[in-house]
Structure 1
Amino acid sequence: MRIISLSVDGIHQAAQRGLYEWIAEQDADVICLQDLRALEPELDNEIFHPSGYFSYFFDSGIEHYNGVAIYTRHQPKALIFGLGFSSGVDMEGRYLQIDFEQHSIGSLLAPAAMSATESLEEKIQFFDDLQALLHKITRKRRHFIFCGNWAMAHTEKDVQKAQAHTHDAGFLPHEKLWLQQLFKQVGYCDAFRLANSDPDEYTWWPSNQHDDGDGWRTDFQVASAALRHKVEYATTYKTKAFSSHRPVIIDYDIDTDQL
């Protein structure tokens, strides 16, 4: 099973840059998009509904703000909108999940805490709530893959010129610690790093230029522990830029007939 994840910086802009022509050439089973910056009624055009896929969207209810999508070749048994946080921040077009018989795949857009509409306190609360939820669902007899823009990097290997960014949002001590706890204590795995240890596999450029400025790896596919040995291949797509982020492509040894 191939899963692709990409934060698009606006779905209309990404479409103009050829995203959907590229999607048509990929043999992906599931595609998770984040940061659509569009309301669902604005996505009625057939270009946003690729042939061969079921298309699902969750917008924020606010124009040009957030929004996530999932395209899947296999019809899910259920859809989940949001994560159920009491703060309600997860309902701002930040999370959409498809459920199959044994597997769940989510498209996640985390608060970045880099704009006037997103505070550092909001981001901390979001991830504290998320970690509590992820810890809770480890007891479920279900496999999870959370794909998306997590708005932070894990180690120095994941940030170009890391020492210059130790005081920047996305690479603060508590953010690195949060990911360390997620992967070492809670028990989830960074699926990409299980198959690809290259140091230059960055996925995001704050400057919006892939050949200018320092790259960060802030886009993850986080898988539950039982899938640790199912990751076969992982890469980022470098040939063409659809946004300030690169697509993350991971192949799992999962039979789609047994999802």
Structure 2
Amino acid sequence: MASSSPVRIASVNVNGVRAAFRKGMGDWLDASNIDILAMQEVRAATSDLENLLGPEWDILHDPATAKGRAGVAIASRAQAHIHRVEFGAEDFDSAGRWLEADYEVGGSIITVVSTYVHSGEDNTPKQVEKYKFLDAMSARLPELAAHSTYAVVLGDLNVGHRELDIKNWKGNRKNAGFLPQERAYFDRFFGPRGEEIECVDGTTGVGLGWVDIGRTWAGEVEGPYTWWSQRGRAFDTDTGWRLDYHVTTPELAATVKDYRIDRAATHAERWSDHAPVVVDYAI
């Protein structure tokens, strides 16, 4: 990764990496000139990743406790300096959902996190686990900012922050992924650092000062979306959700040169129900 050109970082929920490669993910990767790739819902062994990606990639992988579930990974052209998977309270099982790695880019250290937030289900234990994860994320983000000026949290965060992030937001106000309490976490993530803010659920909180690159780049427009249900004609009608994020420190946000969502041309050409989110950072 040369300092004279941007570092290209991508994130995608692969929805099972073996199935994604059978459907064409390898062709996308070969053509995309990615330097660092964060993956979620890997649902495979480390040996599978190594066989699929090949020896030119350095692979970090944190599988889930339950085999065949979740799993996050980071593949990079250059080897990571160090990586970490510790996250949240000791009794909280975050395996397969949070993986941090430090890379040297252009003489600077950039911290990259691949994360997969629980999908949740309102009024169930699944939602309790989701809130535990978001609480742990709220505690970790300030620590990451203190650790590295350049830090990015990538992944399927399973929350549409604003009405612009979901096509059918009115019909999802009581569903996990768009609950006011979930969205309030994101109000705090992206609120001005150190300032008290009013959140969408009526609570107040202190902003953490991180930047949502997707919304910053796209502006005040619907979407653009990153996930579409496999059911019906959701992809064809662009009835989607923006669930996949690049969440960065302000310093790293200032280096962004390009942002794109690699949406497949047709439903038949999709290799995941999520589209990759690709950002060029000039560090």
In the superposition, the TM-score normalised over structure 1's length comes to 0.89
Query: What does 1:94-105 correspond to in 2, within 5 Å?
Result: 94-101=97-104, 102-105=109-112
Query: What does 1:1-259 correspond to in 2, within 5 Å?
Result: 1-45=7-51, 48-50=52-54, 52-91=56-95, 93-101=96-104, 102-114=109-121, 119-184=126-191, 185-197=207-219, 198-207=221-230, 210-211=235-236, 214-239=239-264, 240-254=269-283
Task: Provide the alpha-carbon RMSD of the alignment.
Answer: 2.2
Shift of residue 114, structure 1, vs aligned partner: 4.1
Shift of residue 88, structure 1, vs aligned partner: 2.6
Which amino acid letter does the alignment assign opposite residue 32 of structure 1? A
Shift of residue 157, structure 1, vs aligned partner: 0.5
Larger Rg: 2
Give per-residue Cα distances to partners, 1:157-183, cap 9 Å, x unaligned.
Answer: 000021111111000001111101100
Give per-residue Cα distances to partners, 1:177-205, cap 9 Å, x unaligned.
Answer: 11011001101001122222342410112
Give per-residue Cα distances to partners, 1:181-232, cap 9 Å, x unaligned.
Answer: 1001101001122222342410112345522673100100110121121112
Give per-residue Cα distances to partners, 1:89-145, cap 9 Å, x unaligned.
Answer: 212x11222112421101101111149x96100100110111011123333343211
Q: Distance in 2 between matches of 1:95 and 1:138?
A: 16
Shift of residue 236, structure 1, vs aligned partner: 0.7
Deviating beyond 6 angstroms after TM superposition, the runs of 4 or more aligned structure 1 residues are none
* Number of residue-to-residue matches in the alignment: 251
Aligned to 2:195: none
Q: Say which SS state the counterpart of residue 87 (structure 2) adopts.
A: coil
Q: Distance in 1 between matches of 2:98 and 2:146?
A: 21
Q: Say which SS state the counterpart of residue 139 (structure 1) adopts.
A: helix
Which amino acid letter does the alignment assign opposite residue 100 of structure 1? Y
Q: Distance in 2 between matches of 1:118 and 1:242?
A: 31
Shift of residue 42, structure 1, vs aligned partner: 4.2
Q: Distance in 2 between matches of 1:8 and 1:133?
A: 25
Q: Say which SS state the counterpart of residue 227 (structure 2) adopts.
A: coil
8 Å contact 1:89–1:126 — kept in the other structure? no
Q: Say which SS state the counterpart of residue 227 (structure 1) adopts.
A: helix
Unmatched tracts of structure 1, length 5 or more: 255-259
Residue identity (%):
27
